Amino acid sequence: MKRVVITGAGTINALGQSVPATMEAMREGRCGIGPLEMRDSDRLAIKIGGQVKGFDPESVFNRQQIALYDRYTQFTLIAAEEAIRQSGLTFDGDLAARSGVVLGTSGGGLTTQDENYRAVYEEGKNRVHPFVVPKLMNNAACSHVSMQYNIKGPSFTVASACASSNHAMGQAFWFVRSGMAPVMVTGGSESMLCFGGIKAWEGLRVMSRDACRPFSATRNGMVQGEGAGIFVFEEYEHAKARGAEILAEVAGFAMSSDAADIVMPSKQGAARAMAGALSDAGIAREEVGYINAHGTGTAANDKTECAAVADVFGTHADDLMMSSTKSMHGHCIGGTGAVELLAVLMALRDGVIAPTIGYEEPDPECALDVVPNEAREARVDVALSNAFAFGGLNAVLALKRT
Amino acid sequence: MEVKNKVVEILAEQAVLEPSDVKMEMSLEDLGIDSLGLVESIFAIEEAFDISVPFNANDPQESDFDISSVARIVEGVEKLVAEQHP
């Protein structure tokens, strides 16, 4: 089996439009959640979100590109550019033929769907733009990355709601580890902060109207975000041979399905995925110093996740740190695991643990060190990244310091 | 009375019971309505009475809307109808 390392990272999200900007915001415990700016926002019951603001697509893309790129694809391409540039890779010949792109998204081109449903149903138009289908499809972002960088190997999109990007990165990890691909571009993107996307979440009545406060006794629900995180996963010897800078090693991955409930999480399912990732990586649980939590800020997720961590780690659960950066950038749904992997890289590389902000009051059912409100310096050798989706689909990555 | 009958009808449909089997002192648990069923019932109530029910599934106890029994739910809906359709 090959070793898999990360040699490039890129992002755009409510905290920043690059990795350095995002990590700086995480270090400072800044909140990217604010009032939603969109058409008809007066009709929304939930008026806050982790929206990407101050982003002008026309400064990055030309008119023909914008006609083809939904907002989620735009996010993907911006993050991919940063990640691939950092990796220093150029894809041609055998490298191009064997490398691939596996991305996660839950809703794909939702903004495109929203705008065009509005045109035909509300405005009564009988005609839509010819690119609606290629713009809204869930694999559009993946295909545009593949086209832009000449990446011609195994490429597809994974959709498993809030675990999409972790599932995608798990597949990418396997492709490289098995020797099937020398390099995989992976991660995920979501832009569900459109009128219809927010209305749908309002319906479930799990959204907070004021803030995302994971693990706090005062938490009252999740807050949606948007954005993308893209990474270059590369075979270790390949990276070493070309003298690439290595950000971290991806050491293990595991998935599980609760097979229980379409929305309620299961402690057993989450625990099996965390334990599976450790066992896949050959890592003892005592080595884990940090967990980037799924930590949605709902009553159900946070207590279930803490109970699962206690089950997997036993007494070591009291010695590790676990934080939820959703408190800062919101829940980026299918892109969330990828945006959150940046907090894992920051912990492993820089020894800085991103905080759980908005923390007000301890909850006896979430009695772990959740790094409340302020970032902390600590040396971490091994970290996990949790994603537990609606539908009970869980995906956990284990990363190591290099 | 009208509100009561309609609320009972909505809860009975969710619980797959006859309206006559829904008693005012029963809790949602007695009716076998889980969290997802509750959210669906509240949606049906909002649609039926054209009202907005303040309810957050994260802290049902702290929501302004009391769901501890069928009687409390009926009272809550009557109050909301009076407030929102005076």
CATH number at residue B52: 1.10.1200.10
Write the pLDDT tens digit of every residue in A129-155: 999 999 999 999 999 999 999 999 999
Write out chain B residues lying below 8 Å of A263, CB-based: 35-36
Contact B56 A220 (CB under 8 A): yes
User: Domain A4-241 is classified in which CATH homologous superfamily?
Assistant: Thiolase/Chalcone synthase (3.40.47.10)
Write out chain B residues lying below 8 Å of A204, CB-based: 39, 57
pLDDT for res A374: 98
* Confidence grade of residue B63 (pLDDT, cut at 50, 70, 90): confident
DSSP A369: B
Which part of chain A is CATH 3.40.47.10? Answer: 4-241, 253-400
- Could you confirm whether A162 is annotated as catalytic? yes
pLDDT for res A123: 96
Q: What is the dihedral of CA A276, A277, A281, A283, to 10 degrees?
A: -80
3-state secondary structure A284-306: CHHHEEEEECCCCCCHHHHHHHH
* Confidence grade of residue B64 (pLDDT, cut at 50, 70, 90): confident
Q: What is the pTM of this model?
A: 0.95
Contact A206 B59 (CB under 8 A): no
Mean local confidence (pLDDT), A341-370: 98
A194 three-state secondary structure: coil
- Could you confirm whether A212 is annotated as catalytic? no
Burial of A218 (0-12, 13-18, 19+ CB in 10 A): middle
Mean local confidence (pLDDT), B2-29: 96
* Confidence grade of residue A187 (pLDDT, cut at 50, 70, 90): very high
Q: Is the pLDDT of residue A45 over 90?
A: yes
Query: What are the two backbone dihedrals, phi and then psi, of residue A385, each rounded to the nearest 5 degrees?
Result: -125, 120
CA distance B42 to chain A (A): 10
Mean local confidence (pLDDT), B36-60: 92
pLDDT for res B59: 79
A3 alpha carbon, distance to own chain's centre: 22
Contact B43 A299 (CB under 8 A): no
Q: Say which amino acid occupies A85.
A: R
Q: Output the six-digit token pair for A126.
A: 């009988």
Contact B56 A219 (CB under 8 A): no
Mean local confidence (pLDDT), A281-296: 98
pLDDT for res A376: 98
If you average pLDDT over every residue of chain B, what do you get? 93
- The number of distinct structural domains making up chain B is 1
Chain B touched by A33 (CB under 8 Å): no
A222 and A243 Cβ atoms separated by less than 8 Å: no
Q: Is the pLDDT of residue B1 over 80?
A: no
Determine which one of A162, A194, A212, A366 is catalytic. Answer: A162
Q: Is the pLDDT of residue A385 over 90?
A: yes
Q: B85 lies in a domain?
A: no
- Looking at this predicted complex, what is its ipTM? 0.81
Contacts 24+ apart (CB under 8 A), B51-55: B51/B77, B51/B80, B51/B81, B51/B84, B51/B85, B52/A45, B52/B80, B52/B84, B53/B77, B53/B80, B55/A205
If you average pLDDT over every residue of chain A, what do you get? 97
Q: Which domain holds residue B27?
A: 2-80
Helix H or strand E encompassing A116: helix A110-117
Write the pLDDT tens digit of every residue in A201-216: 999 999 999 999 999 9
Q: Domain A253-400: which topology? A: Peroxisomal Thiolase; Chain A, domain 1 (3.40.47)
CA distance A218 to chain B (A): 9
A353 and A211 Cβ atoms separated by less than 8 Å: no
Contact B58 A204 (CB under 8 A): no
Mean local confidence (pLDDT), B11-16: 96
| Nearest chain A alpha carbon to B55 | A205
Q: Is the pLDDT of residue A262 over 80?
A: yes
Write out chain A residues lying below 8 Å of B59, CB-based: 220, 299
pLDDT for res A78: 98
Helix H or strand E encompassing B47: helix B35-49
Write out chain A residues lying below 8 Å of B42, CB-based: 205
